[in-house]
Each structure stands twice: as C-alpha cells, then as structure tokens.
Structure 1
Amino acid sequence: MESSRTPLLRRPLPVLAAIVVGIALIVGGAVWWTGQESNDDAAAAPGAAETSSPAKKAPTGWGPTKAERTQAAVLADALPLEDLAGQLIVARSFSNESSLALVRDKHFAGVMVTGQQILDVTTDDPLTEVKAFNQELQEAGGDRGFPVMVPIDQEGGLVARLTDPLTTFPTFMSAGAAIAGHGDTGAATVTAAAQASGAELRAAGYNTVFAPDGDITIGPADPIIGSRSAGSDAQTVAKAVVAAVKGYSEAGMISAVKHFPGHNVSTDSHKGLPRLESDKQRLRTHDLVPFEAAVTAAAPGIMTGHLDVRAIEAGVPASMSRKVITTGLRENLGYDGLVISDSLGMGAVMQRYPGGQATVEAIKAGSDLALMPADNEQAYDAVLKALKSGEIPEQQARDSAARTIAYLLHSQASPQLPGEPGSHEEQSEQLSLHAATVVAHPCPVPKITAVMPSGSAEAVAAFRVAAQEAGLPLGSGTSVALLGPGVPAASAAVVVSTDTPYGLARSSAPTKVALYGRDVPAMRALVKILMGKARAQGKLPVDIGLPAPTRC
C-alpha cells in the first residue's frame, strides 16, 4: 500500500551526496525498523523521540515525473479487473508463444525470460533473436499505452543471463573492493560499469534489471549470495549499491536492489526458508543499511527476499509479510518505489503456498509485482478471484499498477545511451583494475616475463587471450593458478581468485591476488598487474583471515 504522503518528484542525486546522507542517518541513530503494526507504536520505539525517522527525508533521484505519475494513475484506473490482475504479475516464461499470449490476452505486466531459455538460442547471432522476442513482447502489449516490463537478471559474474556478444562484467564483490580501496574514485568506476551494462541491456530490448544485491555476505558459509554481495561491511555494501543504482538510472534502466531485508543467511532460499536471526537492533545497524541507502538514493525498485525475519513476523517469508513490506519498507523507511517479490517458484514459498496462493499473499503484503509464479495461469486466476472478493483491495492494486506504469513510462522517455554489444570492455576492465587486491607478495616483487596459467578452464582461456594481446609469453616462466568459483585452494607461484577470495587463505603461494572476475576484461587487468604496468590497490571487502601484505 502506498504511504499516505504525496509521491515525490525526483532529481538526480550525486553518488557521494547519497552516500553522505546515508551515513549521516546511520550516525544519527535513526530508527529504521520497528516491526510494529501502527505508526503510533513506531513513534514510541526507543530512540524515535530523539531523532527524526529517515521516512521523513525526501528521496531524490531518477524516477517518474509528476506528469508521468498522473498519466500512470489514469491508465491504471481505467484497467478492468481482468487486466488489473495480470498487471500485478511478471510471468515465468515457459515458451515464447505462451509468454506472448499472457501479455496479449491477460495483460501480464511482463515476462521474465530465464538464463537457460536465453542460452538455448543456438543461432550464430543469439542477440538478434533475443532482441526480436523482446520487441514481440512490446508489440503484444502495444494497445496499453505504456511499455511491457522486460526484466533480466544481470548482476555480473556468475549471474549474467546474457554474455557474448554483450560486454561481460565482474562480480559485484568487485564493487566493494574498488570502493574499499579507492573511495570516491572506486564508486565512480562502479557507476560507470553499471551505466555501461544498463546501456547495452537497454539496447537489447530490456527495461528492467534485477540488480544490484544489497545483501551483506556472511562469509564462506554463504550458500547462494557469495560474490554477488559487495562485501561483509554494511557501509561498503551501501556505497556500492548507491553507485550501481546511479549507473543503471543514468542508462534509463529500472533497477531493483535485492533481497530485502537482506539475504544474510546460511540457507539457500531456492531450497528452503532461511531464518534471519537478526534482532531489531542488528536489522537497523546492519542488514537494512544498504536498503536504507537505496531508499535515500531513490532506487527505482526493491526486491523482497524469501526470509523468515524472526524479529518481525516469525514463520512468514518477508516476501509474504505485510509487517515487513507495508509497515517496514513503505511506512517506516518511507519507500515509494516499486516493490517486487523474488521468484515465487522457489522452494522457500512453493511448499507453503500452493497454487496461486503465493502470488496473492505477496500482493496482499504490499508487493507491486509478483515475480515468476510457478504456474502463471493459477496465479492469474487466484489474483482475479482475490480482487473480485476484496481479499486484495482494489485501490491497493490500482496504486501498484500505477506505480509500475509510471516507471515504465519514465524508462521509455529516458535518453538512450550508446549501447552497442561489447562496446564497454574498457569500463569492465577498469572496474576489475580498481578492485584487484594483492593479498600477499614477496619482497622484492618479482618481475614476471612469462607465465604458465592453470586452473579454471574458463578463466585460463580468458587469461590466454589477455596475455597474447599484451605480448606476455605463455607456456613457461611463472606459474599462475586461477581459482574458479568453489575451488578451495591451489599451489603456484601466483594464485589468483576469480570469485570470492577465501581460497587464497588456504593456498600455498608467495603471491596472492583477489580478482573477483574471470572474463577477458578482468584478465586484461590481471595481466597488466603481473607485468608491472598497473598497481592492484583494491581492498578486500571480506575477511579471509590473512594479515595485510607488507610494503617492500
């Protein structure tokens, strides 16, 4: 449900200004989360009398104009219930034909085409087919007066549904390392990379990206987030989130920070319902810090996680909890952007909410969009029934539809930046160069004139390309082991982690480098560092149990 205050017009907010505001709120001890049912109870929470809530701060940044919000409200109010039901759902794509039919015949807000379906395109020019289908989706909803939502999971690193011929980017942990090591310059590099990725995705026909992650990794025990997180320090993650959101917004992309209130747990929600054990104090000072920064920076979207937040509503997934979404995110944090559920086909909710019940519960809790139900038709029928019975309040549903439409209109009206496929490798390389972290080295630092790469096949192939481009001889000389995701350790003269850096602590090597990426742009950065043409001055965004390297 929309908060009672008038939606705010937004103007661009510089990354540093947003970060400063976020930190000021942290230092000021603002009460971010009460978990209470009413505003009266929230006001009575400890500290509320002494400090102003960030819900009262006016977020500024990229977002719908007053005219776009007015137009969206008119369009939403005109939807018959049959169309309104569909407008609250982003479909799971089982086939191109069925997806087009859902958009055309049942007014689904959009379609999420998952990675495998994209990768199943077997032509010599897969991007052409992707772009053609995305255009077909828009044509299927062509009589709406506003665009169809076409989202993609494209975080960088392991979560990149489209690769060649688009530019590949390193993991989001690289953003944390760049910011921890370079401060403002690192944040600007993160923004440039997000803007570049957003521009290419938009040129491919996407208008929404489910990124960046606002999750704070718990370390080696993290089962699913890992290098998708910017790190283990809440404020570093917050700065990375703000920087990335700014870049996507500059590209005209609707971004969604995930997974509220923080997938900082040891259970994978694809398989079961994780328990977030943080008490309210830790929620305020840790888990929620990146999301508060996102609210202040006017992030277009926030995706909720399937998490059992024990301190707020035990036993109920956050994605289904009105206390978490409407009371917590909307009212207490003052968020007026899009709220999107995580995929409703995941194990954490499928076993608890059969049929279309999960979709109904997510919308009732306050989500504007229910993402990827296990069965599209069942979800639609359940939502329509709930609208007709009043179980889902009609005005709440129309407010949600208006919010989605307003952002789609704003994205459509935003300037199109140059986004030719593969044209932003420099931005990707620069992010890896700013992120790269020397964890250990001998003194004096040896000069590397030839290398013998080994390890992850994908990383080795990319390294060979980068080495050959730079004129670094291969096949003899210094041994370089490239650790792929999940590889615990290796022995060589130089060991390089290409995902999370934890394996470096268990590796026997005089030189250890954390890289956070395994594609050609990342390897170009690594080769420059090994050849002494660039310095690796990133800083570990997580603790791996090793002391900082000594200066030579």
Structure 2
Amino acid sequence: MKHKRLLIFFSTALTLVIVIYAVTMLYNIKPAAPTFVDTPIVEHKPSIELDSEEPIVIDEEIYENSYTEQQPEEDIIQQVEDRLAQLTLEEKIGQLLIVGIEDRASTVSTDTRRLIAEQGIGNIILFKRNIDSEQQLTTFIHELKKLPSNDIPLWVTIDQEGGKVNRLPEQFPSAAELGELNDTAITQANGDLIGKALADLSIDMNFSPVLDINSNPNNPVIGSRAFGATADSVTTHSTAMLEGLGKHVLTVGKHFPGHGDTTIDSHIELPVIDKSWDELEQLELLPFRTAIANDIDAIMVGHLLVPKLDADYPASLSKTIISYYLRKVLQFDGLIITDDLIMGGITEQYELSEAAVKAIQAGNTMLIIGHKPKQQQLVRQRLIEAVEQGEIDEALIDERVRLVLSMKLNMQAYLQ
C-alpha cells in the first residue's frame, strides 16, 4: 500500500511538471516553481527578479501591515466598524470608486498623490498606459501603497485576461486559445501563473475571468476573450481559471448578464439583448451560476440593455437586474462592480455623474471610472452631494463600504 501511494504521488507530480512545461513551451510563459505539497496562501509581496544592477528595496512593513493572516470573524467585524466610524463621507465614497490614473513612471505623480492621500480614493485600476516594465511597475505600486492616510489598504486592480487584453509586459494566452486546447490542467496552470505574477507585483484584484459565451460570431468585442462558444466550454475553463487565479488575487467575473450574444461593442454604444430571464438561464447565466457557486469574489455588470428584464436602464444601472436578479435570485453576496462608466454604452445615454448616482442606487458596490480625471472628480463630488441631499441614504453607503473593508482587512480569507 505504501508503495502504491508513492507511485500515485510521483505520477501526480510528474503530470504537474508536464502541464507547466507545456504551458511554458506553448506560450513562452515564465513558470512558477512547482510544488507537490499543500502550500500556504501566497502573501502579497513583490518577488519578481529584475534584470537590474540596483536591487529594489522593499519596505516589508507596508506589506505586512496591509494584509495579515486570516483573523477570527468577530475581530474583523469589530475592525470594520472601527474603521468605518473613523471615515468621513468623502473617504467612504472614495472606498467605492476604482479610478484610472495617467502615471507611467516609477514615481507617483502629484495628481495621483492628491487623489489618494487627500481625496481618499481607495482603489486604482492600471491600464497599459501605466506600465513600462516590471521594474517600473514594481516600484510604482510600492510607492502607491504608501499613500493612504486612513490606515486602509489601497487596492490596485487590473484587466489581465491574456490575449488581446494583456496589460503586463509578459504575454499570456487568450481564453479562446486555452479553450481550444481543452485541457483544464493547462487553463488552471495558466491562471496560477497570472495570479502569482500579479500578486508578486502587489496587485490585489484582477478583472478576470470573462464569463461571456461567444455565441454570436458577429460579436465585435468578446471573440477571443471568451473560452468558447458553448456554455460547457466557458463554464469548464472559467472554473479552472478561477482555481488557479483565485489563490493569489481577488477574481471578478464579467460581463453580467452576458455580453456574448451582441453585435455592438458597449465601449461605443449600448447593446440590446432581446432575451427573457428564462432564456438567459439556458445559456448566458450558466457560467455565472457556476462561478457564484465557486465563491467568486466579484461580478462586473455590463452596459447591456435587456428590455425583458428592465426596459428603462442598462444592466449596470438597473436595480431590477442587480438587486433582484443578481442578489436575490442568484444569491450573490460578493462585490458588484460596474464596467467602466466612461464607455459609450453609458456616456451616449447619460450624464456621467448622474449615471454614477443611479449605479449606486441600483445596488453596485463599486464603480469604475478609468479615464478623464476631471470627470472622476465630478463623479466623486456628485456622489457626496447625493448623500448630503438625501438622494442616497448614507446607511446604504455604509453597507457597501463594510463589504469593501471586510475584504480589505481580511483578504486572505477570500483567497481560495
């Protein structure tokens, strides 16, 4: 029996080595060191080896203070309430916004310092425009993490899908390529490699995986970003991706309730999906149901008009779709995040600041405003005014901030 167990052990180990080698050879991905025993949760500390004569000195205290080992639930609840009580209304709003910045150097710009240290913005999204090299990005994020003045960790987020949506200097395969290989071990290994690369950079959240089904060949925006054209392919491979990715960073499934069967790009204008809830349940919602069952951390809601669910508002601004269907019907209790509000699907229909108010009223936890600093400021100020004027109950803001704080203060509990 002992020899049989050893044989199984080494067979499993050999299989894992082959999988990692296959991913590396096929896509030129830098492999993580394989381990054949249970490993502890990866801490968010930079560990990328850089080709530089001058090593980057990392202030370990910053990272130790940001995320600690999983703590008892009652301790976290008390910490959340203590932090919440200390926040001003402006800082509460700041915790619900994910904003893009213009920086591309290793040092943080004056504008970004003000945004975080003075205006209380609690979350940053990085785009390709912010990334020059691994060395620059490592130093830049390290400096970003020093800036919050309210003792709440700053989240750094990113869209790192692979394929045509690949923000890191290192290229990773697209979802479609992984789906075509149809080997879940390779998909999971790829997720693990992406997750570790992000965690080593101290990036906290990845807007991935794409849960859309590429069921419409005329779709101009999803295409290779999807794992396939069938619910089975997308569900199977997105689950494998989550298993690898979710060990290292927070995961976000997108674009609810499904952007696959559209012929319009929501970056440009508002797509219309002429399906009932029952019809969506037969296809589009299957990967979302599975991801929710597998404890995905967040769902991104798309700018998609679904008239049979809500004839007046796109999904990202719809209380019916978010608070009823996503929260109550699908019983999702994680973060709900809008797609970038500065997209044609919203800005062609609404004034941005008013859309932000509707997004919070609809049930979103967090809003992405990835571009246009002046518009970001207008959104922040309009949300503050909406609370002060009674359009949004501050208790509702507190509820959303509690969820964000609970994840920030005990992030290890959310990593799979």
User: Alignment partner of 1:310: what SS?
Assistant: coil
Q: Do 1:76 and 1:399's aligned partners in 2 also have CA atoms closer than 8 Å?
A: no
Aligned-residue Cα RMSD (Å) equals: 2.1
In the other structure, the counterpart of 1:547 is none
User: How far 1:97 moved relative to its partner?
Assistant: 3.0
Q: Give the match for residue 146 of structure 1.
A: 152
CA change 1:352–1:306 in 2 (3 A) is same
* Aligned counterpart in structure 1 of residue 76 of structure 2, from 32, 45, 68: 68
Letter in 2 for 1:108: I
Which residue in the other structure is 2:174 paired with? 171
Say whether 1:105 aligns with 2:111: no
- Contact 2:211–2:235, Cα closer than 8 Å, also in 1: yes
1:307 equivalent in alignment to 2:307: no
The answer (yes or no) to whether the contact 2:145–2:154 under 8 Å persists in 1 is: yes
Please tell me whether the aligned partners of residues 208 and 255 of structure 1 are also in contact (alpha carbons under 8 angstroms).
yes
SS of residue matched to 2:331: coil
Report the counterpart of residue 3 of structure 2 in structure 1: none
Alignment check: 8 A CA contact 1:254 1:407 kept: no
Partner residue in 2 for 1:262: 258
Structure 2 residue ranges without an equivalent (≥5): 1-69, 104-108
CA distance in 1, matches of 2:415, 2:318: 37
Deviates more, 1:72-81 or 1:239-248: 72-81
Shift of 1:216: 0.6
In structure 2, do the counterparts of structure 1 residues 77 and 187 end up closer, same or farther at CA, with 3 Å as the change threshold? Answer: farther
Q: In 1, are the aligned partners of 2:134 and 2:169 still within 8 Å (CA)?
A: no
How far 1:74 moved relative to its partner? 3.5
Alpha-carbon deviation of 1:355? 4.0
Match of 1:386? 386
SS of aligned partner of 1:339? strand
User: Conserved in 2, the CA contact under 8 Å of 1:300 and 1:407?
Assistant: no
Counterpart of 1:198 in structure 2 is 195
Is residue 2:320 matched to residue 1:323?
yes
What does the per-residue CA deviation read over 1:185-220, in whole Å, with 9 as the maximum and x for residues that have no partner? x22322221111111111112111010000011243
CA distance in 2, matches of 1:350, 1:341: 14
**Aligned partner of 2:102: which letter?**
F
1:510 maps to none
Q: Give the aligned partner of residue 167 of structure 2.
A: 161
Distance 1:362 1:135 in 2: 31
The reply to whether residue 82 of structure 1 matches residue 79 of structure 2 is: no
> After the TM superposition, which residues 101-500 of structure 1 pair with which residues of structure 2 at under 5 Å, given as runs?
101-118=114-131, 121=132, 126-141=133-148, 143-164=149-170, 168-179=171-182, 186-251=183-248, 253-264=249-260, 265-372=262-369, 374=372, 375-411=375-411
The C-alpha deviation readout for 1:255-308, integer Å capped at 9, x for no partner, is 100001111211000100000112222111111111111110010011010000
8 Å contact 1:91–1:99 — kept in the other structure? Answer: no
2-side partners of 1:398 and 1:77: how far apart? 9
Name the amino acid aligned to 1:177: E
Kept after mapping to 2: 8 A contact 1:99/1:111: no
Distance 1:414 1:402, change over 3 A: closer
Q: 1:157 & 1:393 partners in 2: Cα distance? A: 42
Relative to structure 1, the CA distance from residue 74 to residue 262 in structure 2 (aligned partners, 3 Å threshold; closer, same or farther) is farther
Structure 1 pair 70/261, CA: closer, same or farther in 2 (3 Å)?
A: farther
Identity rate of aligned residues, in percent? 30
Aligned counterpart, 2:7: none
With normalisation by structure 2, the TM-score equals: 0.76
Q: Is the alpha carbon distance of 1:225 and 1:320 closer, same or farther for their aligned partners in structure 2, counting shifts above 3 Å? A: same
Task: Give the aligned length.
Answer: 337
Return the alpha-carbon distance in structure 2 between the equivalents of residues 65 and 403 of structure 1. 16
Shift of 1:356: 1.4
CA distance in 2, matches of 1:351, 1:148: 31
Q: In structure 2, what residue type is equivalent to 1:401?
A: V
Deviates more, 1:376-385 or 1:277-286: 277-286
Specify the code of the residue in structure 1 equivalent to 2:332: Y
Change (3 A) 1:217 1:65: farther
- Provide the C-alpha distance between the structure 1 equivalents of 2:396 and 2:142, rounded to a whole number of angstroms: 30
Q: 1:389 to 1:78 in 2, by over 3 A?
A: same
**Would you identify which runs of 4 or more consecutive aligned residues in structure 1 move more than 4 Å?**
412-416
Greater radius of gyration (CA): 1
Distance 1:415 1:354 in 2: 37
Give yes or no for contact 2:250–2:415 (8 Å, CA) kept in 1: no
One-letter amino acid matched to 2:317: M
Q: Aligned to 1:379, what secondary structure does the other structure show?
A: helix
* Equivalent position SS for 2:255: strand
